[in-house]
């Protein structure tokens, strides 16, 4: 779990680890299923060492013995503020796939169109999974918006694969066919 995410969750109020986990699950819906609960505690431990959170003790009950409660320090708050202002964005690695097609064609290792087809099937399977998850969410669930983002992104990637297929199909057919197509 990304450190900044947990810090930002703690900005609302000091919390137990299990409360953070519950808020993450609600925000992520089915996507959070892959989340490893232990990661939250590992990350909180690291943040404590870095001086960005401090750990207190909440009085326990018979069912729940006393538990750690995590709170942001000034340094932690500073880091949250910086994170909110950041404009970094996950990079789609299109260059790698593009180079794969070029290299495969140049060395006659594989048919680029077949590579595109295989890739499209894989992306369609991912789109199917994301779409099914989106269909199962209610309109007002927080996770629905995240799923929509995943679906839109996969659609954009699939459109690019269509462009790849068009280009490589016409290259395969030779320059003559290409000429005819543009005339």
Partner 1 sequence: MLRARDLCRQYGRDDSLVRAVDHVDLDVAAGETLAVMGPSGCGKSTLLHLLGGLDRASAGELWVAGQRIDQMSERGLAAIRRSGVGFVFQAFHLMDELTAVENIELPLLLAARPARTARRRAVQLLDQIGLADRARHLPSQLSGGQQQRVAIARALANEPLIVLADEPTGNLDSEATLEVLRLFERLHDAGQTLVVVTHDARIAATADRLISMRDGAFIDETRLTGGTTGSLGALAGLEG
Contacting residues toward partner 1, per CB under 8 A: 28, 30-35, 90, 117, 121-122, 124-135, 139, 146, 148-152, 154-155, 158, 162
Residue number with CB closer to partner 1 (39 or 78): 39
Least distance (Å) between residue 54 CB and partner 1: 27
Between residues 19 and 169, which has the closer beta carbon with respect to partner 1? Answer: 169
Cβ proximity to partner 1: between 126 and 171 the closer is 126
Extract the tokens encoding 134: 């989106």
How many Cα neighbours within 13 Å face the side chain of 57? 6
Closest distance of CB 130 from partner 1, Å: 6
Nearer to partner 1, 61 or 88 (CB): 88
Q: How many CB atoms lie within 10 A of CB 29?
A: 20
CA angle (163 as vertex; 95, 113 as ends), nearest 5: 80
Whichever of 73 and 131 has its CB closer to partner 1, that residue is 131
Strand partners, 69: 56
- Minimum distance of partner 1 from residue 61's CB (angstroms): 33
The Cα–Cα gap between 176 and 41 comes to 63
Q: To the nearest whole angstrom, how small is the minimum distance from the Cβ of residue 63 to partner 1?
A: 31
Minimal distance in Å, beta carbon 104 to partner 1? 19
From CA 97, how far away is CA 161, in angstroms rounded? 10
Angle at 27 between CA 41 and CA 57, to 5 degrees: 35
């Amino acid at each position: 779990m990304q450190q900044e995410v947990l810090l930002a969750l703690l900005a609302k109020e000091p919390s137990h680890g299990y409360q953070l986990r519950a808020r993450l699950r609600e925000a992520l819906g089915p996507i959070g299923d892959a989340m490893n609960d232990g990661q939250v505690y590992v990350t909180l431990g690291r943040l404590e060492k870095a001086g960005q959170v401090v750990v207190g003790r909440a009085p326990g009950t018979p069912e729940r013995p006393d538990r750690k409660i995590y709170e942001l320090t000034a340094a932690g708050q500073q880091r949250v503020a910086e994170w909110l202002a950041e404009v970094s964005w996950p990079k789609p690695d299109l260059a790698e796939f593009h180079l794969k097609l070029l290299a495969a064609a140049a060395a006659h290792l594989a048919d680029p169109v077949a590579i595109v087809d295989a890739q499209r099937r894989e992306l369609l399977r991912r789109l199917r999974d994301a779409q099914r998850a989106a269909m199962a969410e209610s309109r007002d669930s927080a996770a629905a918006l995240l799923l929509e983002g995943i679906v839109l992104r996969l659609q954009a990637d699939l459109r690019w694969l269509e462009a790849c297929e068009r280009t490589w199909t016409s290259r395969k057919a030779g320059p003559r066919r290409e000429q005819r197509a543009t005339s």
